Structure formats: structure tokens, C-alpha cells
Amino acid sequence: MATYKIALLPGDGTGPEVLREAAKVVQAAAQRCGFSLDTTEYDFGGDRYLATGEVLPDSAIEEFKGYDAIFLGAIGHPDVKPGILEKGILLRIRFELDQYINLRPVKLYPNVETPIKNKGPEDIDFVVVRENSAGLYTGLGGIARKGTPHEVAVQEMVYTRNEVDRCLKFAFEYARKRNKKKTLMLCGKTNVLTYVYDLWERAFHEMGEREFPDIKREYAHVDATTMWMVKNPEWFDVIVTGNMFGDIITDLGAMVQGGMGIAAGGNLNPEGVSMFEPIGGSAPKYAGQDVINPLACIFAGQMLLDHIGETEAANIVERACVAFLESGLLPGMSANEIKEAGMSTTKIGDAVADWVAKV
Ligand code: IPM
Ligand code: MN
């Protein structure tokens, strides 16, 4: 029997609650499909940092390299200055494990409400491939003359050809494998960022022409992309973009697909160890109340299963989520709607896990 080693990082706030339910669902799928997931839990996050001063030891990074995948709940603690945990845990894992792709599907499921008028599941189904290791996130820059009226702050958007090429290659291959409209759109800002997005655009067309003649190429500026995501989401198939633009448009994407309670993402190193997470934050206000929607984390679990090669189990998890949504037991995705419907984080997890055995 195949066994996969999975590192669980529940993290902060409602992270542990949603991850517990998602782990329940993926374990149910593993059982049904005849493989096993050997999980190890790590307590990195705000509470541990406040108690010990330790964010993430080097040894943990080394250990993570020995897993088949990492499954993360949420990072962010109200008593810890913003940036410490995000940079020290989330970004550090992404960078040190070279998870250079952030894959974020934007898919509207049945019975999930989108704020976009007159659009349904047939219109909202695309994927954003966000470059996840460089660009404005490289951290190059500095401040001079601090505290004076002439203070200057610099934050550099840095890309090497190799970083651009490896991201584009993944995106082209993904568009081919997805086999929907066989279209890849580069989202940039070539009219202003005339160095970085010039590089992206040249690399995009060179690679497309040479290696992916079957994939149609499109280009849109990032501002226009946000406009179309709202006005004509059905136009998109696969979008590839740099780190900062990808961060921004995927929050918009999360809303378009029904909110943070639904949106999932994968931080991928196609040659190494990848990490899966719900896009929504740690929602400290709701921690411990059992009212946060675990579906986003469950969808992240689906992506994890797909990534380790257990495609059938991944499909079962997706079908179970759809069956649960179609059952109508969850009229809305917010904490309040979950409470009002008499549902809870645990009940949703249990219900989806039950569906896993039936779909
Ligand atoms: C995300 C988050 C992170 C990012 C933050 C928490 C560092 O917004 O995963 O999109 O900017 O990448
Ligand atoms: Mn973000």
C-alpha cells in the first residue's frame, strides 16, 4: 500500500479547526482509495512564537524536505506584529523549498453565491498561475535618510530570465494538461513596467512559439485583467503573472468564486516539496468557535491529493464537496450564515467526509 508522508501545520487562529476537518476528509478519501497518509503535526505559529521566541527553526525546513507534501491551516496572530510570522513561516517555507508556483483555481461551485451578477458556474472556472518566489517579494531595497523629509524608500521588482521561464513553462504545460480553452493569458503591465514585463512578454512568446504552438497566447494589463474578471470571467482559462499582481488578482478571484471560505491554493515546487493552504487568513476573531467554513481547506486537500498523484482521491474529494453543496445544508459561506444554518466547522467536515464514501 502506498504511504505518503504529510506535514501538518495548523498554524494560528482558525487554522487548526479548518485543517482538522480537511485532514479528516483527505484521510477518508485515502481510505477509500487504498493508500495511507502518514501525518506529523508541527506547532509553528503565533502561540509558539509568543511562548518561546522561536518562529521557525532551520531544522524544521530540513525536515519539511523529507515530506511528500505540507498542509497548512493559516498563519497570522493578532498579538504578533504583522510580518513576523508571515515572513518567518509562510514566505520562508515558500522561498526555502523553492515553491516557485502559486496555483490558485477560481471556480464557482453549485449553490455558492458569487457577487458577480448573472454569472454562474459555467462562467467562472479559470486558474491563476502566480509566480511565487521573486519579483517584489525578493526583498531587495532599502531606506535612506530615514525620518527626514528627503527620506527615500526603494523596493525592487526583480526577475531573472530563469525565474520567468520556469514559471511560464509550468503555466503552458498546465494549460495543455487542463485542456479547456488551451489559452494562456499573460497578465502584466508592459506599458509602465517596461523592463520586467518586457522580459516576461518576450519570454512568453518565445517559449509559446517554440514549445507550445497548440496553446493560444493572450496578453492583458493587470488593471484590465481585474476589470474583466468582474465583467467577463468566462473569457479566462489560465492566467500567468508575476508575484505581486498574482497576489492581488487572486484575492479578487477568491471573491468572484464565492469568498475566502472557498478559495484554495498550492505553493508548488514541481521538482520538490509543495505546500497547500486555504487562501483565507487565520480569522482570529472566530478562533475556537467552530464557525469557519473548512471548504477552502478541504479544496486545498483536494489539490494536495492531485499533486501527490492520487488523482482519483482528489476527484472524489471534489465530488464530495459538490454533493455537500448541492444538498443545500449550507445556504451561505460566512461564519454568521454557518451559525444561522445550524452548521459548524466540524459538521461541514463530517458531512463532506461522509460524502467521500458515497460519491
Ligand atoms: C497570500 C498572502 C501572503 C502573500 C502574505 C500573507 C505574505 O497574502 O498568500 O496571498 O502576500 O503572498
Ligand atoms: Mn494574498
Question: What cell does 73 get?
Answer: 491551516
Nearest CA to ligand 1 atom 2: 247
pLDDT for residue 280:
86
Which ligand sits closest to the CA of 84?
1
Which ligand sits closest to the CA of 102?
1
CA of 39 to the centre of ligand 1 (A): 25
Residue with cell 497548440: 214
pLDDT for residue 331:
84
Low-confidence ranges of the chain (pLDDT < 50): none
| Ligand 1 pocket mutation pick from 91, 101, 247, 249 by most atoms within 8 angstroms of CB | 247
Alpha-carbon dihedral sign for residues 42, 46, 50, 56: positive
CA of 249 to the centre of ligand 2 (A): 9
pLDDT for residue 134:
98
pLDDT for residue 307:
97
Nearest CA to ligand 1 atom 5: 86
**Nearest ligand 1 atom, CA 281:** 6
CA of 176 to the centre of ligand 1 (A): 27
User: Which residues does the annotation mark as catalytic?
Assistant: 137, 189, 223, 247, 251
CA of 197 to the centre of ligand 2 (A): 21
d(CA 29, CA 293): 19
* Statement: the pTM of the whole predicted model exceeds 0.95: yes
**Nearest ligand 1 atom, CA 250:** 10
Please state the three-class secondary structure of the chain as a single string.
CCEEEEEEEEECCCHHHHHHHHHHHHHHHHHHHCCEEEEEECCCCHHHHHHHCCCCCHHHHHHHCCCCEEEEEECCCCCCCCCHHHHHHHHHHHHHCCCCEEEEEEECCCCCCCCCCCCCCCCCEEEEEEECCCEHHHCCEEEECCCCCCCEEEECCECCHHHHHHHHHHHHHHHHHHCCCCEEEEEECCCCCCCHHHHHHHHHHHHHHHHCCCCEEEEEEHHHHHHHHHHCHHHCCEEEECHHHHHHHHHHHHHHCCCCCCCEEEEECCCCCEEEEECCCCCHHHCCCCCCCCHHHHHHHHHHHHHCCCHHHHHHHHHHHHHHHHCCCCCCCCHHHHHHCCCCHHHHHHHHHHHHHHC
CA of 32 to the centre of ligand 1 (A): 34
Q: Supply φ then ψ for residue 187, to 5 degrees.
A: -105, 120
pLDDT tens-digit series, residues 195-208: 999 999 999 999 99
Which residues form the pocket of ligand 1, taking CB atoms under 6 Å from any ligand atom? 86, 90-91, 247
| Ligand 1 pocket mutation pick from 72, 77, 86 by most atoms within 8 angstroms of CB | 86
Nearest CA to ligand 1 atom 7: 86
**Nearest ligand 1 atom, CA 251:** 10
**Nearest ligand 1 atom, CA 90:** 7
pLDDT tens-digit series, residues 327-349: 999 888 889 999 999 999 999 99
pLDDT tens-digit series, residues 80-139: 999 999 999 999 999 999 999 999 999 999 999 999 999 999 999 999 999 999 999 999
